[in-house]
Amino acid sequence: MILFRPVGLKELELILETNAQKFPPRLSWQPIFYPVLHFEYARQIAFEWNIHDAGSGYAGFVTEFDIENEYISQFAIQTVGNAIHQELWIPAEELENFNNHIQGKIRVTAAFFHPEYYKGASLSEFTSHHPEIFQSW
């Protein structure tokens, strides 16, 4: 199954520290990890939420990854809005095991930036260190 996850700059940096193979552990106030089923939903979150958040580095990225069908089928699909707003609720304590079922690398399929982002790091420097996970968008 292909899943998507909207992330900010800091979470993406933590993903890259694992060679784009794992999502970072949840923070103490984050009881669930929620990958989403549709690119458009992930795009909405990255664009409408992440780029406006200083904690996300004023950047939003859509990641895409493959996960074993048999493993992921144990989690019920949660619809939290209209038909594209579907996500899986993975308990934080299950995330390490979840990561072990990811097949291949976590890929970046879209990126969005607020004007505040450009006061910081250069995107070309960021992507040049990990070109294998950045797809053309």
Instruction: Return the percentage of the chain with pLDDT > 90, whole number.
Output: 72
pLDDT at 130: 56
Confidence (pLDDT) at 25: 95
| pTM recorded for the entire structure | 0.86
Q: What is the CATH number of domain 2-132?
A: 3.20.170
Q: Where are the beta strands (DSSP E) in the chain?
A: 2-7, 32-33, 59-67, 77-79, 86-88, 90-91, 102-113
pLDDT surpasses 50 at 22: yes
Average pLDDT, the chain: 89
Domain boundaries, the chain: 2-132
Report yes or no: 112 and 50 within 8 Å, Cβ to Cβ: yes
Q: What was the pLDDT predicted at 1?
A: 97
Under the banding of pLDDT at 50, 70 and 90, the label for residue 137 is very low
pLDDT(67) > 90:
yes
Mean pLDDT of 5-13: 94
pLDDT at 133: 57
51 pLDDT exceeds 70? yes
Is a pLDDT exceeding 80 seen at residue 134?
no
116 neighbors 64 (Cβ within 8 angstroms): no
What pLDDT is stored for residue 54 in this prediction? Answer: 86
- Average confidence (pLDDT) over 47-75: 93
The pLDDT, as a whole number, for residue 60 is 93
Give me the phi and psi of 72, to 5 degrees please.
Answer: -70, -20
